[in-house]
A and B are shown apart, each in its own frame.
Chain A
């Protein structure tokens, strides 16, 4: 049966930032995009690079030569190994959205007071009643 893992406090990850956690032996990257949280297995679907070590950036688009625009700033991950780009909201690769995507986990934000009713797993820290936490079910 799936268990609730507490991956950290929401305050751990600033907007535009990320955090690498290990839950039940799995490396998972959690990202804060404009106040929403997303989580992916920290293995690039291409060849296994750590996505969490890559840049969080936008997507370069263009209407033709000499037209350069960076759009959706903060919504894309660039893998540090070979530069593939992934949409943080969906995990899809920009170049091959239909068949290449990062493994996604859903992240819920739960209040410490609710979590306290249990059961949950918090491997590395203590859950406080007044805090807000990132919860992933595995």
Chain B
């Protein structure tokens, strides 16, 4: 269905990755030299999880409007294909650059920093409706924290971006400095589908086909939530919100059930979990709406929503320019009417403290939504 009003906050919008030569001016002389003389600039740095030519990576009509190139490459496209027609109040954009998978962590950190500078200068500076996440190279949390600190002064950065499959489960203490820095600055953690392929994308080994990786992402998100719970991240960082992007969510009821059940029997191993995990997950995890992983049938959707009790958990996302819906039907049919406003506006505001503190945005959104 169409968005019933203007003023939505889109939590998952992708910028097409620029060629490396676009990023060079944002790098130090040393790295510019290294990247050019070692021909590293010939690499596309597209993450294997999102092959550029896969039909899912760019909606065909948007792709056609871009002359076959990846949509989301220019501000013009972003405005004419997304921000204007859908009437977005805000869109949080994410630059999933392949450099997060580099083994050389200094080069990786330099790339991430260049991407963030490019996002700020080429996108945020020109379009007031845009917000962004901070790309970090999580293999070295010290460097990641340095980048968060560098960007934190810019209030248009509202989150830190991490892939759901990296070196280790994200709840591990090695990543805590990243969470510490994010919480300190009121940034949320956006965990996006995708892998740096440090590990097989399944717990049972390497896959043969991209479709296996793609379908298996939801399992990785379950692993993420289990890890954050077990490691006590929710207790350690009580003000930090985790937003799962491209996660799907219909797997949530069984995960909640299994975690609550296991907790009763083995909670002594992880005694910091002092109440049923289902309640903790409901409070601390947000899930993006698209891609929607259920039939768009009101009866089915209502049941799933009831089981998850997800009033406050779902945040609006188009996943632009990925091919997740047709035409302007950004909302799946059958989403309960009374939840639409929450999903489009209230929940995104609650998920990103930096959006709330901007009272101008809040007032504007409320006005728009009411009208």
Inter-subunit contact A65/B264 (CB<8 Å): no
What is the size, in residues, of chain B's interface with A at 8 Å between Cβ atoms?
Answer: 16
- Chain A nearest CB: distance from B319 CB in Å? 33
Inter-subunit contact A83/B264 (CB<8 Å): yes
Tell me whether A105 is interfacial, beta carbon within 8 Å: no
Contacts of B299-315 to chain A: CB distance below 8 A: none
Tell me whether B121 is interfacial, beta carbon within 8 Å: no
Tell me whether B370 is interfacial, beta carbon within 8 Å: no
Tell me whether A123 is interfacial, beta carbon within 8 Å: no
Q: How far is the CA of A93 from the CA of B267 in the complex (A)?
A: 13
Q: How far is the CA of A64 from the CA of B266 in the complex (A)?
A: 17
Q: How far is the CA of A66 from the CA of B176 in the complex (A)?
A: 13
Tell me whether B276 is interfacial, beta carbon within 8 Å: yes
Q: How far is the CA of A96 from the CA of B263 in the complex (A)?
A: 11
- Chain A nearest CB: distance from B165 CB in Å? 22
What residue in chain B is nearest A82 (Cβ atoms)?
Answer: B265
Q: Which residues of A contact B271 (CB under 8 A)?
A: 60-62, 68-69
Q: How far is the CA of A67 from the CA of B236 in the complex (A)?
A: 11
Please report A residues at the B interface, Cβ cutoff 8 Å. Answer: 59-69, 82-85, 93-96
Please report B residues at the A interface, Cβ cutoff 8 Å. Answer: 173, 231-233, 235-236, 263-268, 271-272, 274, 276
Inter-subunit contact A95/B235 (CB<8 Å): no
Extra inter-chain contacts (19) besides given A60-B267, A65-B173, CB under 8 Å: A59-B268, A62-B274, A63-B272, A64-B232, A64-B235, A64-B272, A65-B231, A65-B233, A65-B272, A67-B272, A69-B271, A82-B264, A82-B265, A84-B264, A85-B268, A94-B267, A95-B263, A95-B267, A95-B276
Q: How far is the CA of A96 from the CA of B230 in the complex (A)?
A: 19
Inter-subunit contact B236/A64 (CB<8 Å): yes
Q: How far is the CA of A7 from the CA of B246 in the complex (A)?
A: 62
In this complex, the member of B232, B236, B265 whose beta carbon has the largest number of chain A beta carbons within 10 angstroms is: B265
Q: Which residues of B contact A95 (CB under 8 A)?
A: 263-264, 267, 276
- Chain B nearest CB: distance from A60 CB in Å? 4
For B236, give its contact among A65, A84, A85 (CB under 8 Å): A65
For B272, give its contact among A62, A83, A84, A94 (CB under 8 Å): A62
Q: Which residues of A contact B233 (CB under 8 A)?
A: 65
